[in-house]
């Protein structure tokens, strides 16, 4: 079938109608797209910030839609099912990582919007194992960012295996940080969110965290060795050492984003009278996705989003690029 998408044909170009041919394979499903988010990462990729973008590019990797057609081998889904898709179109399901249930590390995987055309389109075809049934509770634009941002922070948190009632910190209160605060709060932990923006205090409190102004000197030293866990969603430079110091001796620091530049670190803070850990997390497995969607549905975890229509996609991309939109942006397909 000929799929109508919205592609960027060259660096600096605008999204415009772009058609490609794609049939539905044995294990695949075709989805009619209802929502697709545009995130900062998409816009950086559109702008070729990392120098490896291949054009034409169809961005978008947080997608909600309904199944239209299923391949002959698909039994888990049927036409009409509401599904979410995030990040992966396919994986090999044969390598060491896939066999261990970690398809997110498969070297043969196709990442949506990077290795194949993405969700800024009328339809998309993906392996049925990467289309996740959505509870009716998640049928709204506010759930769209769960599919990649939500998965990333949820999996990063779960990996820490936190004891109940831990003291935890969230660095940054943007799209990732707002979701991390909610997950941690609903898991019952005592949550502190660090932000440079005093105007985010009320929002942070509403999401379930205490606000700490991270630009205020002295604030951090008072918190010495207080935290079991910190998750950093920051993509700007920050003083990593200062945050390592406020971790308890066996505390864990999870990074799900980072500045493009190298960071500097005093390695001694990891072992001196301590056994501290820094680890990264990259999206999550299919099992993590199912767990995360279930947790989010049961606890009403949603993103704060601005909704625009597909017809406004170029204005939307520009708003994300300039930082004019402070919360997550989701495009609704009204065709």
Binding site for a copy of itself (CB under 8 A): 97, 102, 104-105, 107, 159, 241, 249-250, 255-256, 258-260, 262-282
Q: How far is the CB of 297 from a copy of itself (least distance, A)?
A: 25
Q: How far is the CB of 239 from a copy of itself (least distance, A)?
A: 11
Check if the beta carbon of residue 277 is closer than 8 Å to that of residue 74: no
| Cα(44)–Cα(50) distance, integer angstroms | 8
Q: How far is the CB of 213 from a copy of itself (least distance, A)?
A: 23
Neighbours of 207 (CB within 10 A): 23
Could you tell me the two tokens for 117?
């055309």
| Cα(302)–Cα(134) distance, integer angstroms | 13
Integer angstrom CA distances of residue 195 from 33, 146, 180, 210, 321: 35, 22, 13, 11, 21
| Cα(101)–Cα(188) distance, integer angstroms | 28
Could you tell me the two tokens for 146?
């769960």
Integer angstrom CA distances of residue 272 from 54, 116, 244, 266, 276: 45, 46, 11, 10, 9
**Looking at beta carbons only, is 53 or 140 nearer to a copy of itself?**
53
| Cα(79)–Cα(112) distance, integer angstroms | 22
**Looking at beta carbons only, is 66 or 277 nearer to a copy of itself?**
277
**Looking at beta carbons only, is 55 or 271 nearer to a copy of itself?**
271
**Looking at beta carbons only, is 33 or 176 nearer to a copy of itself?**
176
**Looking at beta carbons only, is 55 or 279 nearer to a copy of itself?**
279
| Cα(107)–Cα(84) distance, integer angstroms | 23
Check if the beta carbon of residue 297 is closer than 8 Å to that of residue 138: yes
**What is 108-124 written as a DSSP string?**
T-EEBTTTB--SSBSEE
Q: How far is the CB of 234 from a copy of itself (least distance, A)?
A: 10
Q: How far is the CB of 217 from a copy of itself (least distance, A)?
A: 20
Q: How far is the CB of 271 from a copy of itself (least distance, A)?
A: 3
**Looking at beta carbons only, is 152 or 178 nearer to a copy of itself?**
152
Q: How far is the CB of 61 from a copy of itself (least distance, A)?
A: 14
**Looking at beta carbons only, is 55 or 282 nearer to a copy of itself?**
282
């Amino acid at each position: 079938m000929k799929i109508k998408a919205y592609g960027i044909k060259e660096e600096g170009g605008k999204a415009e109608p772009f058609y490609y041919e794609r049939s539905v394979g044995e294990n695949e499903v075709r989805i009619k797209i209802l929502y697709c988010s545009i995130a900062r990462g998409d816009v950086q990729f559109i702008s070729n910030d990392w120098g490896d973008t291949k054009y034409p590019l169809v961005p978008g990797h947080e997608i909600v839609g309904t199944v239209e057609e299923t391949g002959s081998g698909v039994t888990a889904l049927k036409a009409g099912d509401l599904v979410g898709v995030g990040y992966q179109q396919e994986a090999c399901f044969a390598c060491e990582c896939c066999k261990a249930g970690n398809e997110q590390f498969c070297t043969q995987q196709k990442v949506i919007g990077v290795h194949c055309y993405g969700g800024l389109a009328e339809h998309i075809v993906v392996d049925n194992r990467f289309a996740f049934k959505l509870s009716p509770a998640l049928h709204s634009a506010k759930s769209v960012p769960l599919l990649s941002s939500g998965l990333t922070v949820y999996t990063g948190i779960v990996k820490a295996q936190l004891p109940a009632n831990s003291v935890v910190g969230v660095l940054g209160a943007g799209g990732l940080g707002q979701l991390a605060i909610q997950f941690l709060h609903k898991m019952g932990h005592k949550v502190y969110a660090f932000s440079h923006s005093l105007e985010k205090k009320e929002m942070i409190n509403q999401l379930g965290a205490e606000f700490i102004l991270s630009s205020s000197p002295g604030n951090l030293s008072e918190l010495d060795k207080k935290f079991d866990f910190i998750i950093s969603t920051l993509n700007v430079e920050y003083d990593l050492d200062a945050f390592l110091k406020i971790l308890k001796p066996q505390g864990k620091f999870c990074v799900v984003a980072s500045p493009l530049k190298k960071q500097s670190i005093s390695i001694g803070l990891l072992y001196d009278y301590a056994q501290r850990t820094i680890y990264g997390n990259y999206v999550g497995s299919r099992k993590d996705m199912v767990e995360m969607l279930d947790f989010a549905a049961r606890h009403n975890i949603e993103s704060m989003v601005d909704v625009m229509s597909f017809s406004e996609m170029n204005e939307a991309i520009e708003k994300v690029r300039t930082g004019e939109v402070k919360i997550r942006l989701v495009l609704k397909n009204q065709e």
